[in-house]
Structure 1
Amino acid sequence: MASTAEGRELTTAHRDAQIQIGARAEIEARALWDRLDIDDLDGSKPYWLASTTIAVNRRMAESQRVASEYLTEYRLAELGAAGAVVLAAPTETARALSLAGPTRVKRLIGSGMEPAVAFTAALTKFGGMARRQAMMGGRLTIAATAGRDRRAVGWRRVTDGNPCAFCAMLASRGPVYRDAAAADGIQYHSHCGCTAEPAYSNAWQPTADEERYMDAYGEARAIVAGDGKAIDTKKLLAAMRRQGGFRDSPIT
């Protein structure tokens, strides 16, 4: 985590601000949902998709701006000097919204669900996708900036405090992610509240939550190995969920 108290406070405030941006994006996208006509999905899709993409991209730009301000203040707190910010953004927003929206509605109908039920059922996943795409502006900006900053050793995943097992696993690794092309690090699912924090030292001090994630991951590896199974990510995450304490753990 950040080496200064000010840096830690900035990271927490930035995470909360990004979660709020994502929430506003979801609310606005949901308000546009009825522009899709369940009786004419293909015909109503162009207008719906154009207006929804504009709304989500507006929040994505806000996410970038908030991340840019955070990066400047954070570097000043950690190093005493500001640095260049590299803006980055997702490029597949329209496609992602389309897949989570009308394409998913059609898939649910094809599986036997009544059209009206499918239309309502698809909304939750779609709302999460709108939230994700908006927040990716800030997430990718942090990753890209850390990757270009010669003083940065990388960046780490910052959870919302109640992560799923997958996000906890990524956060348990610390600042191992190097840039915006970090395959694992930039994987954010719908409704994910994770953000990121640049690291300027290899002397990473895990937070109490990160230590818990590390312990859970270690225990999961021991469980999978003890079962005589080949260790892979899918089995590890399943074992972590069964231990409890994660958003996607079984409810007992």
Structure 2
Amino acid sequence: MRRATAALVEEHWQAQERIGAQVASQALAHWSRVNPHSLEESGAAWLAWMLALVRRERRRSRDQAAAFYRLYRALETGHTVPPLSGEYVGETTTLGELREDWADQADTIRTPEPDDGEEIRLDGFDWPEEPEEHHDRAAVASLISQGPAKVRQHLDQADTDEARGRLDDGGFLQELEDAVDTAGRSSAGAADREVLRGGRDLIDQASKQDRRVVGWARVTDGTPCAFCAMLASRGAMYTSQSTAAGGGRRKPKGAPDGRVRANRRPPVALEDLTRYHNGCHCQTVPIYSRNDFMTPQARDYDRQWQEVTRGMTGAEARRAWRRHIESSRN
């Protein structure tokens, strides 16, 4: 991966992370208005406020992802696609103009580059429409299940627990306060995830219809879980068409012909590559070259995998990897 592309990919997940973190912070602050003693009323008001916030910031995530996609594609292929707005901008643009757009969307400082004047041709392309109703339903389900539903579950359990005694008992009230705090943190994580759905879904759907894309790769955030780090360590997953055309994984350097390292993982599925959990700020990016796609961080995780799981396969290897990653995060 070229240095300029690697830097842009890094900026992309960090910019998306900022959106998610800001939303999580606002969600947690607003959660204080949820009263467990009037859960239906206060929970409904909280949900309405949260859904408006998620919708607004989901659009911001989507706009930012589109600016990244246009610049990233230009750096990788010398061609880009029209703006997400649908505004006609002619048949060509420049790297400088694409960088200006990215800097505006990502709220970063624009540094002039020697190749800013390089002309980039626009390919014919129709951006996918956002499935707003589907995204709204997913957001509502996630927010309710991680927030008010958790509090309701705790209250219902208390109502049926005869040994508990009075609901104003000091021990119960402390447990209820802890349950409300836990639900607030969980719902903030859900809001983070639902907001980033906008940008992630845009890149996923756009890249599937982009004729220049030959595969995808997972890019981790700064502190990935074991599952995300494992996905990143696998490098590129190629489309069936590009693999049939000779775009499979390259032979590891120094390995004899026809042989690969014993504990090389099988290619990851796109379904797994685009799975995200609450608090995850990883991204999946399209690949435009049949060469092995590995960011510096992915190469490091690949090296660690080889060392940690040497002589292991299957569940044993995954358990060893999970212990390794969890210990490194402590």
TM-score, L = length of structure 1: 0.84
Give the structure 1 partner of residue 141 of structure 2. 95
Alpha-carbon offset, residue 173 of structure 1: 2.1
Alpha-carbon offset, residue 105 of structure 1: 2.1
Corresponding residue to 2:196 among 127, 132, 135: 135
Alpha-carbon offset, residue 88 of structure 1: 4.4
Structure 1 residues 67-113: Cα deviation after superposition (integer angstroms, max 9, x where no partner):
00111111111111112343546620111011110112233453886
Q: Does 1:239 align with 2:326?
A: no
| Residue pair 1:64, 1:87 contacting (<8 A) in 2 also | no
CA 1:35–1:236: 2 relative to 1, 3 Å: farther
Q: Does 1:197 align with 2:285?
A: yes
Alpha-carbon offset, residue 38 of structure 1: 0.9
Letter aligned with residue 206 of structure 1:
M
Alpha-carbon offset, residue 125 of structure 1: 1.8
Give the structure 1 partner of residue 327 of structure 2. 249
Corresponding residue to 2:44 among 43, 46, 53: 46
Corresponding residue to 2:271 among 171, 183, 186: 183
Q: Percent identity?
A: 33
Distance in 2 between the 1:187 and 1:98 partners?
20
| Residue pair 2:146, 2:183 contacting (<8 A) in 1 also | yes
Alpha carbon RMSD of aligned pairs, Å?
Answer: 2.5
* Count of paired positions: 238
Alpha-carbon offset, residue 156 of structure 1: 1.2
Q: What secondary structure, in the 3-state scheme, does the structure 1 residue paired with 2:223 have? A: coil
Distance in 2 between the 1:122 and 1:140 partners?
26
Which one has the largest radius of gyration? 2
Distance in 2 between the 1:163 and 1:27 partners?
20
Letter aligned with residue 93 of structure 1:
A
Give the structure 2 partner of residue 62 of structure 1. 60
| Residue pair 2:216, 2:286 contacting (<8 A) in 1 also | yes
Alpha-carbon offset, residue 35 of structure 1: 3.1
Corresponding residue to 1:86 among 128, 131, 134: 128
| Residue pair 2:73, 2:80 contacting (<8 A) in 1 also | yes
Q: Does 1:213 align with 2:301?
A: yes
Corresponding residue to 2:4 among 6, 11, 16: 6
TM-score, L = length of structure 2: 0.65
